[in-house]
Amino acid sequence: MKARIRKPKVGFVIHRFPNDVRGGAELHCRRVAEQMATHWDIEVISTCARDYWTWENYYPQGVETIDGITSRRFPVDFPRDVTIFQKKSLEVLAGGAPRSEELEWMRLQGPYSTALCQYLETSVHDFDAFVFFTYLYCTTFFGLPLVADRAILVPTAEDAPPLRLSIYDELFRLPKWFLFNTPEEEQLLRRRFPKLALQGAVAGVGMDRPKRVNQAFRRDHRISGEYLLYVGRLEPAKGSDELLEYFTSYRKLHPKHDLKLVLIGDPVIPPAQHPDIVPLGLVPDEDKFGAIEEATLIVLPSSYESLSMVALEAWLMGKAVLANGRCEVVKRHCMRSNGGLWYENCQEFAEALQLLLLDPNLRVKMGKNGVRYVEANYKWQRIQNCYLEAFNAIVSSRVT
């Protein structure tokens, strides 16, 4: 009887792993886990939290199988006190705070799980490697040092104030391998940590055409005419408040243009009511892709991105994008792909938007450019090879 070959066991560690993943690092983790399951025995290690704003325990602790992936969840010790955390953020992120205050900020940010850390510490030798998704949260900051000799970090780093904290000097010297999302993210981290080797490669995430698209999106949501589409959380950190300001300003300048702004995503801070703004909240994936397919163009207002899966999804579906030029990652995506324009203030937003609205041929050309860009750079085979290379590197480092 032929012996069964054991797959390497790899833990994917992330702050939360909702059953209904919508985007961000969580969706990134889910997609990579599904792809790498052909090579590895994967266990996603996360907390019981569903809401990233409070980290309230929602899911039962223990093991669950989600779309064929084993998910092991641990309770969060305490929910985030948003008021206290925001006050501490103002103090610490301004710079100059002592290490003790930065550590307190990290604990307040959360999600802190004693049980998760204990599991990593006691089970370290049961795993051949661990992949930590995003540098920012407690699950990585306190968890990665416990398994550092077999740790890969997918930092998902943005040029944002938390990255400048001194406590991350300690964290970033520990991983054996890094998998960056874009060349811009890698360059950012090499500038931030010039004395560290940061061994690794640019991986990103593979993109597949959606299996289901709601062809009746407009009818189901009673949307007619041209519309811009924003997909993401509605909160200042994602630039949604600035987008609403710029859009309403544009509508005042061009009142006769029948144009709407459709918003899809978690309404952390619900938008003010406006006749031309259509907030749909969270919708199924087939509705999201139906919205992208029917949109006039996709708008990306965030200043902080390490990849922007929404941009890649938009291009894969042949749509032009209008992006915040203060986000170096997405601006460079636009430049490399010739798939979109960018703006840095309200006037530039209005001018770029007007140009794209008045020239449908330009939008079509940019959309086609985007398709070619994504198909050339975000195939799963290349991404899988990056993860396999990372695994081999850290296993080799332990042997030598």
Q: What is the per-residue pLDDT across 82-129, written as a single tens digit (0 to 9) for each?
A: 999 999 999 999 999 999 999 999 999 999 999 999 999 999 999 999
Task: Yes or no: say if 13 and 150 are a contact pair by the CB < 8 Å rule.
Answer: no
CA angle in degrees (0–180, nearest 5) for 74-78-84: 145
> Which residue did the predictor score with more confidence, 399 or 15?
15
Q: How confident is the model at residue 365 (pLDDT cuts 50, 70, 90)?
A: very high
Q: What percent of the chain has pLDDT over 90?
A: 87
Tokens representing residue 243 in the block = 């987008």
pLDDT in the model for residue 19: 84
Cα(265)–Cα(291) distance, rounded to whole angstroms?
12
pTM value is 0.91
> Which position has the token pair 């994917």?
12
Q: How confident is the model at residue 4 (pLDDT cuts 50, 70, 90)?
A: low
Taking only the tens place, the pLDDT of each residue in 243-283 is 999 999 999 999 888 899 999 988 888 888 889 999 999 89
pLDDT in the model for residue 399: 64
> Which position has the token pair 């407690």?
138
Is-same-fold flag (9-206+379-399; 217-377)?
A: yes
pLDDT at position 1 over 60: no
pLDDT in the model for residue 173: 97
CA angle in degrees (0–180, nearest 5) for 181-373-36: 45
Instruction: Report helix angle 24-36 to 380-399, nearest 10.
Output: 80
The amino acid at residue 361 is N
pLDDT in the model for residue 130: 98
- Could you state, in order of their start, the residue ranges of all structural domains in the chain? 9-206+379-399, 217-377
Give the right CATH number for 9-206+379-399 from 3.30.420.40, 2.40.30.170, 1.10.150.530, 3.40.50.2000.
3.40.50.2000
What mean pLDDT is predicted for residues 51-69?
93
Taking only the tens place, the pLDDT of each residue in 142-187 is 999 999 999 999 999 999 999 999 999 999 999 999 999 999 999 9
Cα(340)–Cα(352) distance, rounded to whole angstroms?
10
What average pLDDT is seen over the chain? 94
Looking at domain 217-377, its CATH superfamily turns out to be: Glycogen Phosphorylase B; (3.40.50.2000)
pLDDT in the model for residue 311: 96
The amino acid at residue 73 is R
> Which position has the token pair 């204990």?
118
281: left (phi over 0), alpha (psi -120 to 50) or beta: left
Non-local CB neighbours of 219 within 8 Å, separated by 6+ positions: none
Taking only the tens place, the pLDDT of each residue in 127-145 is 999 999 999 999 999 999 9
Task: Yes or no: say if 157 and 163 are a contact pair by the CB < 8 Å rule.
Answer: yes
Taking only the tens place, the pLDDT of each residue in 366-397 is 999 999 999 999 999 999 999 999 999 998 88
Measured CA to CA in angstroms, residue 268 lies from 26, 128, 229, 240, 330 at distances of: 17, 38, 18, 10, 23
Cα(59)–Cα(390) distance, rounded to whole angstroms?
31
What mean pLDDT is predicted for residues 183-212?
95
Can you give the three-state secondary structure of the chain, one letter per residue?
A: CCCCCCCCEEEEECCCCCCCCCCHHHHHHHHHHHHHCCCCEEEEEEECECCCCCCCECCCCEEEEECCEEEEEECCCCCCCHHHHHHHHHHHCCCCCCHHHHHHHHHHHCCCCHHHHHHHHHHHHHCCEEEEECCCCHHHHCCHHHHHHHEEEECCCCCCHHHHCCHHHHHHCCCCEEEECCHHHHHHHHHHCCCCCCCEEECCCCCCCCCCCCCCHHHHHCCCCEEEEEECCCCHHHCHHHHHHHHHHHHHHCCCCCEEEEEECCCCCCCCCCCCEEEEECCCHHHHHHHHHHCCEEEECCCCCCCCHHHHHHHHCCCCEEEECCCHHHHHHHHHHCCEEEECCHHHHHHHHHHHHHCHHHHHHHHHHHHHHHHHHCCHHHHHHHHHHHHHHHHHHHHC
